Amino acid sequence: MGQFVTKQRRVARPDVRKGVAQGYSTLIRLSRVRHAHPDGLGVPPNDFRPPHDLWMTRDVNNRRVPVASLSGKRTALAAVVGCFVQSLVMLCTNCPTVCSHHDADCIRSLLRSAIVVCTIASVGCDTQPQTLPRPSSTPTATRFEGETLNAGKVKAPTEASQPSSGIGEGATIETADAPDSETVSARSYRPPDLRLRHDAERLNELGIHEYVSRRLILYTDIEPDLASILPPVIDRAFEAWEAYFGPLPPARDGSDYQLTGYLMRNQAPFRTAGLLPVQLAAFAHGKHDGQQFWMNDSDFDYYRRHLMIHEATHCFMQSMGGTTRDVPVWYLEGMAELFATHAIADDGTISFGVMPDLKENFIGFGRIPMIQRAIADGHSLTLDQVSRLQPKDFVESNESYAWSWTVCQLAATHPRYRDTFRQLGREYVEDGFQHTFAHLFDPLLADFDPEWTLFVRHLCYGYDIERAVMLFQPGIEIEQPDGQLTATVLATRGWQSSAMAVHSDQSYVITATGRTAVAQSPRPWESEPQGISIRWNEGTPIGRLLGIVISEPDQQTGYRRVSPVLDIGEKAEFTPPFNGTLYLRVNDFWNELNDNSGEYAVSLHAKSDEN
């Protein structure tokens, strides 16, 4: 430890800069592994990995181990030196302006850097591999409440729900997953906190003000009334992250977990103050690294919070070791978008992972119109295409964020997938993402894929995921030549299996009778199967009977095919585009199924030359 301190004090500033240049190139060489975050620090072209990945890597069994255990002390030493150099880089970006006239501050900062380096050294040079504990496979504690992950309703598995905390309150809730001492002693530690501390008074002179909560120190040049409400949002988000992913590994020094955020309306004073690292590539919205994030201000209050939670979610997932190389970008960005999509109730309760209800409550979000435009323009992606999105796709188009969000939104809130999806979030750090995903989701993909396909096809504000849940029930055959099949279609649900098998080499006649109500205000809107022509959804009158054909899973791909919508009404003749089962619904807005009632009786028979 002393050696680093002595060395640091001996060098004059010009030499430090020269050493930094050489050492930093070493750091870059050490970290020549592309990181998957499009908005992570130093993504291509910088090609820079987050610091903690320098000393934690994976062995042949895909377990997280310190670099030293793979490559020996020289590699560990190189990693330590690299991190030391990075600390100097951060320091030197501060020195010329913030503390050029305060040598004592500089020396204190140098000492702090040296301490940080020595802390890193103690982590990176462990010779025994450290492994994270295997997370519980049984989701516990906080659950999604309905379709929202409500941070204010953290509760133990056996406890009744507690009244939620207001937005302005400090975060003092301990989750049921809080680690006990025995667990802590057996687990590894989270990456060290490498944040720099700043002189708030001096930043004040530049118009940059500090706002502090338990989980966030925010430096910003926006108005105090806009800024002061932001740190408590991250306190609530932290509770939601831990409730979802499980508790963070503890800090080696026992310190509390906290982020530093830089929210910039005007980047110039932040650059002057050295708060924007030199290696930080230009960004449109935000960047993150370790326990720090940088973001540009938004004109919209909702979207300012959204971007902040998005970047902070990345920080949390990085701190839990959850951003290793085999994690796909759709998951990293989709989960950041999932948590960022939030709602604040009148009593201050914040819900994360909500389905946006009204456009005016989510100004700046824009993901739903993006998907709607893509569908209308015929540019829809398949689930497989979303899974193959690359970082450059996110740099080039915000649509990639929207597609990734749809996958995580459906998987995290659909009653049949949400527990498994959360299990993925709790297990992939230990077991590797690809392995864990295949183990948990391969058996579900045949159903999830068509549900997601229809989810994005019908996506709208307030989409009712619970009522749109599909049950995949294979159809039965019509007894030839004169048989017919009957089914009942409820107006309160989305697509429902008719249990009628249909074949592409056969034409069918389908008829429907009955009465439904597809709205209650200002009076019940009653409809028969032909629909009510004064109000339309997706190009057909509400109340009208519609159909689609869904195939059984393909032997080769494992996926089902989904046909375009068949317009049925009271009576229709159709030839299916492929073999499958007929699914039916009573047309209505996907955010207005809750006030429907009634059903149609449907019968199907094969068309012959006589009829």
Question: Candidates 94-102, 292-300, 331-339, 491-499 — which segment interacts with Zn ion by CB under 5 A?
Answer: 331-339
Minimum CB separation of residue 405 from Zn ion in Å reads 11
Question: What is the total count of residues that contact Zn ion (CB under 5 A)?
Answer: 3
Minimum CB separation of residue 39 from Zn ion in Å reads 4
Distance separating alpha carbons of residues 117 and 360, to the nearest angstrom: 48
* CA neighbor of 288 nearest in space, from 265, 256, 319: 319
Q: Which is nearer to Zn ion, 39 or 221 (CB)?
A: 39
Q: Which is nearer to Zn ion, 39 or 588 (CB)?
A: 39
Distance separating alpha carbons of residues 525 and 534, to the nearest angstrom: 10
Find the DSSP H helices in 196-295. 200-205, 224-227, 230-245, 267-272
* CA neighbor of 445 nearest in space, from 387, 375, 368: 387
Q: What is the dihedral of CA 495, 496, 502, 504, to 10 degrees?
A: 10
Q: Which is nearer to Zn ion, 333 or 588 (CB)?
A: 333
Q: Which is nearer to Zn ion, 333 or 447 (CB)?
A: 333
Minimum CB separation of residue 244 from Zn ion in Å reads 17
Site map 39..68 versus Zn ion, x via CB under 5 A: x-----------------------------
Minimum CB separation of residue 427 from Zn ion in Å reads 22
Minimum CB separation of residue 245 from Zn ion in Å reads 16
The DSSP-derived string for 330-396 is HHHHHHHHHHHSEEE-TTS-EEESPPP--GGGSTTT-HHHHHHHHHHTT-PPPHHHHHT--HHHHHH
How are beta strands 292-296 and 259-264 bridged, if at all? parallel
Written as six digits, the tokens of 23 are 């050492």
Query: Side chain identity at 487, as an amino acid letter?
Result: A
CB 297 within 8 A of CB 304: yes
Question: Candidates 102-110, 113-121, 144-152, 336-344 — which segment interacts with Zn ion by CB under 5 A?
Answer: 336-344
Minimum CB separation of residue 339 from Zn ion in Å reads 11
Distance separating alpha carbons of residues 79 and 58, to the nearest angstrom: 15
Distance separating alpha carbons of residues 106 and 99, to the nearest angstrom: 7
Q: Which is nearer to Zn ion, 91 or 307 (CB)?
A: 307
* CA neighbor of 586 nearest in space, from 469, 470, 488, 474: 488
Q: Which is nearer to Zn ion, 135 or 391 (CB)?
A: 391
Written as six digits, the tokens of 316 are 């949390």
Minimum CB separation of residue 457 from Zn ion in Å reads 26
Minimum CB separation of residue 333 from Zn ion in Å reads 5
Q: Which is nearer to Zn ion, 93 or 292 (CB)?
A: 292
Q: Which is nearer to Zn ion, 83 or 336 (CB)?
A: 336
Does position 307 interact with Zn ion (CB under 5 A)? The reply is no
Site map 443..482 versus Zn ion, x via CB under 5 A: ----------------------------------------
Closest CB to Zn ion belongs to which residue?
Answer: 39
Minimum CB separation of residue 591 from Zn ion in Å reads 27
Q: How many CB atoms lie within 10 A of CB 211?
A: 19
The dihedral of CA 572, 575, 578, 579: what is its sign? positive
- Binding Zn ion (rule: CB under 5 A), the pick from 275, 336, 454, 491 is 336
Site map 23..42 versus Zn ion, x via CB under 5 A: ----------------x---
Q: Which is nearer to Zn ion, 39 or 235 (CB)?
A: 39
Distance separating alpha carbons of residues 208 and 97, to the nearest angstrom: 14
Q: Which is nearer to Zn ion, 38 or 152 (CB)?
A: 38
Place of tokens 């001096």: 202
Minimum CB separation of residue 336 from Zn ion in Å reads 5
Question: Candidates 132-140, 315-323, 335-343, 494-502 — which segment interacts with Zn ion by CB under 5 A?
Answer: 335-343
Which residues bind to Zn ion, rule: CB under 5 A? Answer: 39, 333, 336
